[in-house]
Amino acid sequence: MEFDMGRAWNDAMALLRANRDVVLIVAAVFFFLPYLTLVLLMPDYAAAMGAGGMAQPADPSQAFDAALEQMAATFDQVKWLILGSAILQGIGMLGLLTLLTDKRRPTVGEALVIGAKCLIPYILAQLLMGFALMLLMFIPIMVGASTNVAIGVLLGLVAFVALCYLMTKFSLVAPVIAIERVFNPIAALQRSWRLTKGNSVRLFFFYVLLFVVAAVISIVVGLFVALFAAVGGETAGQIANGVIDGFFNMVVAVLFLAVLAATHKQLAGPSTEAVSETFE
């Protein structure tokens, strides 16, 4: 089946309209509030790296090492907050995919329970994918360091193309796990690979288009937040940054999940249940 970008977008909007109320609840609790909490409770990284009048080493290498130490110390203070936020958002993401697509119309609680069950397989699949991508980028660096820099750069470009290709091929892992209930991470990766077969290029440019639009809007939002901070002061700017950026990230996350759900529906075809209902 040839992937249709326009159909995927229209189907995504239809899914959101049909589930507007529950989507808003889940998105606010699992995307907006965790981000806002991180912004308001995390220490100021600029201060942690020596801003505000703290003396800096004259040697640039020493300054860089000091900055890394300060960043590591700051991260150590908030690592559990970041981990908790990531877990919440993971459950919300997988639960939202269930809410958008499950024909049995589960309640929000039931969908979130499914999301929690899917979380470990999803994390394992992401770790496997991350290891493969890291290895893909590491090999050209090692070859370039041991042979010729030009060869290393060329291999790096090839690896970057391969990286984009693999990320596209594995882009449907979350829908496969949450919608099809494929809890084996290797099987989920294989299923995503099969679903995207023959449509990788179209999918890649579709994702790039969505990313570019989101990036442009993000720049506009950032300018608005900076203006608000300049007028209202540092505290008001921090609150505005948390609220506005949190809302923007929530909207982007919901839209992208709806697009993934619609893309999966288009490429996977009708479910077994839907086919059986047709002949009943």
CA distance 51 to 63: 12
* Distances from the Cα of 93 to the Cα of 60, 241, 260, angstroms: 42, 23, 11
- Domain ranges for the chain, please list them: 5-269
Res 184: pLDDT? 96
Number of residues in the chain: 280
Q: Structure pTM?
A: 0.81
- pLDDT grade for 117, boundaries at 50, 70 and 90: very high
Q: Which whole number is the average pLDDT over 62-70?
A: 64
At residue 6, does pLDDT exceed 70? yes
CA distance 196 to 217: 28
Q: 100-126 burial, b if ≥16 CB within 10 A, otherwise e?
A: bbeeeebebeebbebbebbbebbebbb
At residue 237, does pLDDT exceed 80? no
Q: Distance of alpha carbon 231 from its chain centroid, rounded?
A: 32
Q: Which whole number is the average pLDDT over 174-195?
A: 96
Res 119: pLDDT? 95
CA distance 277 to 261: 21
- pLDDT grade for 82, boundaries at 50, 70 and 90: confident
At residue 163, does pLDDT exceed 80? yes
Q: Which whole number is the average pLDDT over 91-114?
A: 91
CA distance 1 to 17: 26
Q: Distance of alpha carbon 50 from its chain centroid, rounded?
A: 31
At residue 273, does pLDDT exceed 80? no
Res 47: pLDDT? 43
**Mean pLDDT over the full length of the chain:** 82
Determine how many CB atoms are found less than 10 A away from the CB of residue 278: 8
At residue 230, does pLDDT exceed 80? no
At residue 114, does pLDDT exceed 90? yes
Residues 247 and 32 sit within 8 Å (Cβ to Cβ): yes
Return the beta strands (E) in the chain as ranges.
Answer: none
**What is the DSSP code string of 181-204?**
----HHHHHHHHHHHTTT-HHHHH
Q: For residue 128, what are its two tokens?
A: 């496997």
- pLDDT grade for 63, boundaries at 50, 70 and 90: low
- pLDDT grade for 187, boundaries at 50, 70 and 90: very high
| 239, amino acid identity | I
Nearest to 204 by CA among 174, 182, 172, 248: 172
